[in-house]
Amino acid sequence: MNTAGTSVSTSDSKHTLTVAGDSTILCGKHIDKFDTKWGITAENNLLTLPCNGNYTGSVSRYCSNGGKWMEPDYSQCMHKTIQNIHAQSAKLLSGKSIDTFVSTLLESLENITSGNKELRTGDLVTLSAVLNDIARYVTEHPEKLSINQLEVFGSVCNNLLDERNHQSWEEVNDEGSSGLTSVVKAVTVYNGVFHKVIQGEFAMIIQKENIVLEVGKTISDEITVPDRSKTAYSWITDSAIEIKLKKSIHHDLTGYSSTFYRNVSRFFPKYLMLNGELQSFNESYDVNSIITDFTIESTASSDNTLIIKFDNLLPLSHNFALSLISAVGCGVSILFLVITILIHYALWGYVKNDRTKILMNLCVALILSYSLFLVGLTRTEIKEVCTAIAVGLHYMFLTDFCLMLAEGIQIVRMVVIVFSTRSIVHWLLPLCWVVPGVIVAISAGVTQLKGYGNSQFCWLALESNLIWAFIGPALLVILINFLIFIIMIYKMMTSRGIAGKSLREKSRIGLKSICVIVPLFGVTWVLGALSVNDDLVIFQYLFAIFNSLQGFFICLFHCFLNKQVRQGFNHYQRRRNSNRLDSKLSTNSTNTDIKKMTSKNEERYLYSKEEPQKRIKKSISTK
């Protein structure tokens, strides 16, 4: 038994356990994402195991207070193939190897980094070092560089930046290593060598899912990157970010290289020098934020003008305000949706019809959507949980839109088919809950859940095509409901009861109809399409306000201001008052009967009491 406060290390060929004092609280057995089996360990102890599989080195994991496992440290684990490649790059750089070619090393790197398996932190650190070795080597030996190497180099960087490795990059940052900046440095140095190798004008673009490289030489008086005419990825084409170099000396051959990195900003330092002041990002990077690197090399000395247009630089005050508005609005909506359900439940006998059945389903779906949005959107700590939340949000938001479409279908039936007696709710409502499940199941199966959640938000990845599995159905519903809305307004304005009214009266009726219908039809999502451009920040505020307050507007126009609900409430009040009156009359009648019976009993008692006295008096008088 170890004495409290002492530290003892025990080791064998299989594991090392550093023990600090006695403890009865234990971390239980656990198998992590790399299939390492962690045995029972006392709290405040560090357990070290050999790396499993084709890995060399050791992995350690700390059992913290309360018997909770911390994340394992795989920084000392290295794949044997990667270790061999690192040894070759080191020999190449030192000049000890003449048989190793840069192309061979790059192809080996491409093979080991491709696939679906997540690389460990030790792999990422080592691979970054290999890329830097290659970049330094071609700088000293530019004749070893070839054009086709850039494609393979870009593939290796793309594989390292893949989303499956994001958690490992975060662990690298937490351990205090240089992290992704080492990869960026290697890319910058490697790209810059092409200016020295290729003579004359040229332009190359290497585009990958996570990185876009542009290298070239030109005599043009203006250089603009990225070249969107040659780029297929939407995260580049849809972004407003742009770097433009205007040269003061024409016909000067200028070399340039640029690199655009997708969705990696959180792996960089958290501070920015802006207007001479050091400002913190507070980890408020955009989901699809882009990091850009731009380098030029001119054959003549000249003063050039560099213009950089950034995207996704919405002020932090706006980000905070929009998040706060969304959170408060969703909370308010949940409250009023619950009130709507309770009121309809209490008055169900008076307000029950097909439309209110759809409305109640919509209220339940919106409550689930808002709740999951508030609780789970940023729960990115556990990838599996985040993926499940993203799938749940996808399903619930699609269900919301299906129920909004059902509202539109039911309303247009009421307007166009005035005396319809056949109900469609019995099959319409089940479809509204089943069809979204089918869409989500197909999407999840085709993508194998890739794109459901990332390291910042548990939602569909905006840079992937998966987002269209939501945008497509949502836009379709909005379009159909918009057409239904136009038909409804037209029918209403041309009806006999309204056609003869004044323009002012028609406007009032039309405005009231819009207020009633818009919260049910999802039309406010159009503001979401207009809010994509950061220059139109007003639409972002409008979208956040109206969309998050949808539940409040439903309660206001379909509960508090709804004629049928108010009539039902009045019926409910009259019936309640009538029951009270009946109860009161019954009570008064009972009290009257009791008084009469009491009075009769008293009379009988007095009579029975007086009779003997009268008999005695009569007897005395007779005597």
Q: What is the pLDDT of residues 145-181, one digit of tens each?
A: 887 888 999 999 999 988 888 888 888 877 766 678 8
Q: Is residue 300 located within the same domain as residue 323?
A: no
Closest CA to 294 of 375, 187, 141, 220: 187
| 619 phi and psi angles, rounded to 5 deg | -65, -40
Q: Does 566 map to a domain?
A: no
For residue 21 the two structure tokens come to 């004092």
Q: Which domain holds residue 297?
A: 81-313
| 418 phi and psi angles, rounded to 5 deg | -60, -45
Q: Is residue 384 located within the same domain as residue 238?
A: no
Say whether pLDDT at 313 is over 90. Answer: no
Q: Is residue 369 located within the same domain as residue 247?
A: no
Q: Residue 468: its pLDDT value, please?
A: 86
| Cβ neighbourhood burial of 235 (10 Å; 0-12, 13-18, 19+) | buried
| pLDDT confidence tier of residue 364, bands split at 50, 70 and 90 | very high
Q: Residue 391: its pLDDT value, please?
A: 93
Q: Is residue 372 located within the same domain as residue 331?
A: yes
Written as one string, the DSSP assignment of 192-226 is: HTHHHH--S-EEEEEE-SSEEEEEEEE--SEEEES
Provide mean pLDDT across the span 493-517. 68
CB count within 10 Å of CB 464 equals 18
Alpha-carbon radius of gyration of the chain: 38
Say whether pLDDT at 369 is over 80. Answer: yes
Percent of the chain clearing pLDDT 90 (strictly above): 12
Provide mean pLDDT across the span 93-122. 81
Q: Is residue 419 located within the same domain as residue 353?
A: yes
Say whether pLDDT at 399 is over 90. Answer: yes
Q: Which residues lie across from 338 on neighbouring strands?
A: none
CA angle, residues 516, 520, 521, in degrees to nearest 5: 110
Say whether pLDDT at 381 is over 80. Answer: no
| Cβ neighbourhood burial of 193 (10 Å; 0-12, 13-18, 19+) | buried
Identity of the highest mean pLDDT range in 149-153, 485-489, 509-513 = 149-153
Q: Does 573 map to a domain?
A: no
- How far is 17 from 8, CA to CA, in rounded Å? 8
For residue 198 the two structure tokens come to 């290729």
When the pLDDT of each residue in the chain is averaged and rounded to a whole number, the result is 76
Say whether pLDDT at 6 is over 50. Answer: no
- Long-range CB pairs of 319-324, under 8 A, 24+ apart, other chains included: 319/284, 320/284, 321/541, 322/540, 322/541, 322/544
- How far is 543 from 547, CA to CA, in rounded Å? 6
| pLDDT confidence tier of residue 488, bands split at 50, 70 and 90 | confident
Residue located via tokens 């307004």 = 489
| pLDDT confidence tier of residue 130, bands split at 50, 70 and 90 | very high
For the ranges 225-229, 297-301, 465-469, 496-500, the lowest mean pLDDT is seen at: 297-301
Q: Does 511 map to a domain?
A: yes
| Domain termination site, one of 69, 93, 108 | 69
Provide mean pLDDT across the span 341-359. 87
Q: Residue 471: its pLDDT value, please?
A: 85
Q: Is residue 251 located within the same domain as residue 149?
A: yes
Say whether pLDDT at 429 is over 70. Answer: yes
Contact 436, 398 (CB under 8 A): yes
For the ranges 9-18, 285-294, 520-529, the lowest mean pLDDT is seen at: 9-18
Say whether pLDDT at 583 is over 60. Answer: yes
Could you tell me the CATH number of the domain that includes residue 493? 1.20.1070.10
CA distances 473 to 194, 364, 440, Å, are 47, 20, 11
Provide mean pLDDT across the span 320-341. 83
| pLDDT confidence tier of residue 568, bands split at 50, 70 and 90 | confident
Alpha helices in 380-465 (DSSP H): 383-416, 425-447
Say whether pLDDT at 218 is over 90. Answer: no
Say whether pLDDT at 444 is over 80. Answer: yes
Strand ranges across the sheet with 242-246: 222-225, 242-246, 305-309
Contact 370, 551 (CB under 8 A): yes
Q: Residue 534: its pLDDT value, please?
A: 47
Q: Does 213 map to a domain?
A: yes
| pLDDT confidence tier of residue 435, bands split at 50, 70 and 90 | very high
CA angle, residues 488, 354, 474, in degrees to nearest 5: 60
Q: Residue 620: its pLDDT value, please?
A: 46
Identity of the highest mean pLDDT range in 5-9, 35-39, 407-411, 510-514 = 35-39
**Of 252 and 363, more confident:** 363
Q: Is residue 256 located within the same domain as residue 193?
A: yes
Percent of the chain clearing pLDDT 70 (strictly above): 69
For the ranges 88-92, 238-242, 582-586, the lowest mean pLDDT is seen at: 582-586
| 170 phi and psi angles, rounded to 5 deg | -65, -40
Q: Is residue 260 located within the same domain as residue 112?
A: yes
Say whether pLDDT at 21 is over 80. Answer: no
H or E stretch covering 550: helix 550-555
Q: Does 572 map to a domain?
A: no
For residue 370 the two structure tokens come to 């808002």
| Domain termination site, one of 277, 293, 313 | 313
Q: Is residue 596 located within the same domain as residue 525?
A: no
Say whether pLDDT at 509 is over 60. Answer: yes
Closest CA to 47 of 79, 75, 78, 20: 20
Provide mean pLDDT across the span 532-549. 64
| pLDDT confidence tier of residue 338, bands split at 50, 70 and 90 | very high
Q: Does 567 map to a domain?
A: no
Contact 118, 165 (CB under 8 A): yes
| pLDDT confidence tier of residue 622, bands split at 50, 70 and 90 | very low
Q: Residue 9: its pLDDT value, please?
A: 37
| Domain termination site, one of 280, 313, 346 | 313
Q: Is residue 293 located within the same domain as residue 345?
A: no
**Of 462 and 264, more confident:** 264
For the ranges 270-284, 512-526, 567-581, the lowest mean pLDDT is seen at: 270-284
Task: State CA 450 to chain mean position distance.
Answer: 14
Say whether pLDDT at 210 is over 60. Answer: yes
**Of 476 and 545, more confident:** 476
Identity of the highest mean pLDDT range in 8-17, 60-69, 584-593 = 60-69
Q: Residue 425: its pLDDT value, please?
A: 86
Identity of the highest mean pLDDT range in 44-58, 272-286, 323-337 = 44-58
Q: Is residue 122 located within the same domain as residue 247?
A: yes
Q: Does 36 map to a domain?
A: yes
Q: Does 74 map to a domain?
A: no
Q: Is residue 30 located within the same domain as residue 164?
A: no
Total domains, the chain: 4
Say whether pLDDT at 438 is over 90. Answer: yes
For the ranges 93-107, 109-123, 554-568, the lowest mean pLDDT is seen at: 93-107
Q: Residue 394: its pLDDT value, please?
A: 92
Q: Residue 257: its pLDDT value, please?
A: 85
Q: Residue 600: its pLDDT value, please?
A: 58
Could you tell me the CATH number of the domain that includes residue 194? 1.25.40.610
Provide mean pLDDT across the span 368-392. 85
Q: Residue 539: its pLDDT value, please?
A: 59
For residue 66 the two structure tokens come to 């309360």
CA distances 203 to 241, 251, 288, 445, Å, are 20, 16, 27, 40
